[in-house]
Amino acid sequence: MAHALTLNAGSSSLKFGLFDLSAAEPKVIANGKADRIGGAATLTLKNPDGVRLVDASPIPAEGVVDHHEALTAALRALTDHFPKARIVTVGHRIVHGGLDYTGPTLLDEKSVEKLAELEPFAPLHQPHNLAAVRAAMTAFPQAAQVGCFDTAFHRNHPFVNDVFALPRAYYDKGVRRYGFHGLSYDYIAGELARIAPQLHAGRVVVAHLGNGASMCGMKAGRSMASSMGFSALDGLPMGTRCGQVDPGVLLYLMQQEGLSADEITRLLYTESGLLGLSGLSNDMRILQSSDSEEAQQAIDYFTFRARRELGGLAAALEGLDGVVFCGGIGENSSLIRDGICAGLSWIGIEIDAAANAANASVISTDTAQVTVMVIPTDEEIVIARACAALTS
Ligand code: ADP
């Protein structure tokens, strides 16, 4: 029996899945997550029934756990519990595919080198993604390595959502609005086609709200506009990333505060967002349970900017039929969903408080013009499907 291993190295987590490829649709056998990478990370491994085979086990490390140690722990747990698994392909979530990688691709040393050139475009993700590819090439030398790109879903969006108003030469060099979280949006578009085809055919804003956060405006399941642009910094504030800032702030930081490019990179990617504003944590669960005024202000800013972005994307779509929440915050925090939707009745959004509190799949009222849904996203199955397609 042939299996696929999927690896999804996020900024603070490593999600992984083991899939049986013997049927047309890959079947998940186990999935796991190394959580809170960069701190006291833990590993969890579950079977598809949710039974925990490894339950929040601390990952051993000298100091804070990095992505490499998380991957080693994940592979050890899979080998312990599934010694007979025959991994023929490893699928990777890769955040940046640039202009050339517009769909799932078989990876070799050469393509990994080419993708490494995009590391400055996504310094918080691309190096971790490619480290996982290299580690998997060593651990599974016979397996096909498949790259699935977060930018690919957006590559056909209209020119006005692809360009910055900079001298044209920069556009030609690849300074464009790429958009990210494409695997998640691809999955949600597929789920909408399956469970709500009318909505899929219409105008939908999908809000992927996790440690990284973005929104995508879709028409008929295709990306028209995204809150993220050239890098995964733009748009919504995130766990540690700033979201939209006036470029003049960056000039001020360089010219008046004397910050170097490296210092600004660190500031924007790892010290800003919810963490920077609250001074407490990048973790929404911690902020929600805190009494501090700064934590509340960070939550207020997050919901306010998300509401603004949603309104802007509705305008880009020339109307709105549906909203979908996904990602760790979008799927679990009724407070944040309510905070974003409050005040959007003028656009046709009305939330059913009981359905929202229950994380129900439809959380809008029966009479609302806009259907609001919560759909747990599944980037791993999108990767596993690509593995099956490219290795069959
Ligand atoms: P990543 O972008 O690293 O994949 P996730 O999609 O797992 O992140 O989302 C992580 C975020 O989801 C964290 O801020 C976490 O606090 C938040 N989250 C998870 N569960 C809840 C919950 N029940 N209530 C509020 N926030 C939650």
Q: Give 213-258 pLDDT, tens digit per residue.
A: 999 999 999 999 999 999 989 999 999 999 999 999 999 999 999 9
- Say whether 91 sits in a helix, a strand or coil: strand
C-alpha span between 61 and 189 (Å, rounded): 39
- For range 6-28, the mean pLDDT: 90
- For range 112-129, the mean pLDDT: 90
In the chain the beta strands, taken as DSSP E runs, fall at 3-9, 14-20, 27-35, 42-46, 52-58, 87-94, 105-106, 144-149, 203-209, 213-219, 222-226, 322-326, 371-374
By the 8 A CB rule, do 324 and 204 touch?
Answer: yes
Residues in the chain: 392
Q: Looking at 150, 234, 283, 378, which residue is catalytic? A: 150
pLDDT at 53: 95
C-alpha span between 117 and 82 (Å, rounded): 36
- Say whether 14 sits in a helix, a strand or coil: strand
C-alpha span between 145 and 132 (Å, rounded): 10
pLDDT at 138: 87
- For range 115-138, the mean pLDDT: 88
pLDDT in tens, 336-385: 999 999 999 999 999 999 999 999 999 999 999 999 999 999 999 999 99
User: Is pLDDT at 124 greater than 90 in this prediction?
Assistant: no
Nearest alpha carbon to residue 225 among 318, 296, 292, 140: 318
**How many whole angstroms from 285 Cα to the centroid of ligand 1?**
7
Share of the chain above pLDDT 90, in %: 86
**How many whole angstroms from 382 Cα to the centroid of ligand 1?**
20
Nearest alpha carbon to residue 23 among 8, 5, 1: 1
Share of the chain above pLDDT 70, in %: 100
Pairing of strands 87-94, 144-149: parallel
- Among 211, 282, 356, the mutation site with the greatest number of ligand 1 atoms within 8 A of its Cβ is 211
User: Is pLDDT at 392 greater than 90 in this prediction?
Assistant: no
Whether 172 is a known active-site residue: answer: no
pLDDT at 62: 78
Atom of ligand 1 nearest to the CA of 282: 14
What is the pLDDT confidence band of residue 40, given thresholds at 50, 70 and 90? confident
pLDDT at 189: 98
- For range 16-33, the mean pLDDT: 95
User: Is pLDDT at 10 greater than 80 in this prediction?
Assistant: no
**How many whole angstroms from 329 Cα to the centroid of ligand 1?**
5
pLDDT at 35: 86
Pairing of strands 144-149, 105-106: antiparallel
| 242 Cβ below 6 A of ligand 1 | no
**How many whole angstroms from 35 Cα to the centroid of ligand 1?**
10
- For range 193-202, the mean pLDDT: 98
pLDDT at 268: 95
Dihedral of the alpha carbons of 76, 329, 373, 104, in degrees to the nearest 10:
-40
- Say whether 103 sits in a helix, a strand or coil: coil
State the CB neighbour count (10 A cutoff) for residue 2: 17
User: 247-255 vs 261-270: helix axis angle to the nearest 10?
Assistant: 130
What is the pLDDT confidence band of residue 139, given thresholds at 50, 70 and 90? confident
Mean pLDDT in the chain?
94
| 12 Cβ below 6 A of ligand 1 | yes
Name the burial class of residue 251, with classes exposed (0-12), middle (13-18) and buried (19+) by CB atoms within 10 angstroms of its CB.
Answer: exposed
DSSP structure string for 209-258: ESSSEEEEEEETTEEEEES--SSTTSSS--SS---S--HHHHHHHHHTS-
Atom of ligand 1 nearest to the CA of 287: 16
| Phi, psi at 218, each rounded to 5° | -120, 145
**How many whole angstroms from 323 Cα to the centroid of ligand 1?**
19
pLDDT at 289: 98
pLDDT at 322: 98
Give how far the C-alpha of residue 153 lies from the chain's centroid of Cα atoms, to the nearest Å.
13
| 11 Cβ below 6 A of ligand 1 | yes
Say what the pTM is. 0.92
What is the pLDDT confidence band of residue 330, given thresholds at 50, 70 and 90? very high
Strand partners, 204: 218, 322
pLDDT at 69: 86
pLDDT in tens, 49-103: 999 999 999 998 777 888 778 888 998 999 899 999 999 999 999 999 999 999 9
pLDDT at 1: 79
User: 293-316 vs 334-341: helix axis angle to the nearest 10?
Assistant: 50
- The arrangement of strands across the sheet holding 144-149 comes to 52-58, 42-46, 27-35, 14-20, 3-9, 87-94, 144-149, 105-106
C-alpha span between 241 and 128 (Å, rounded): 17
| 217 Cβ below 6 A of ligand 1 | no
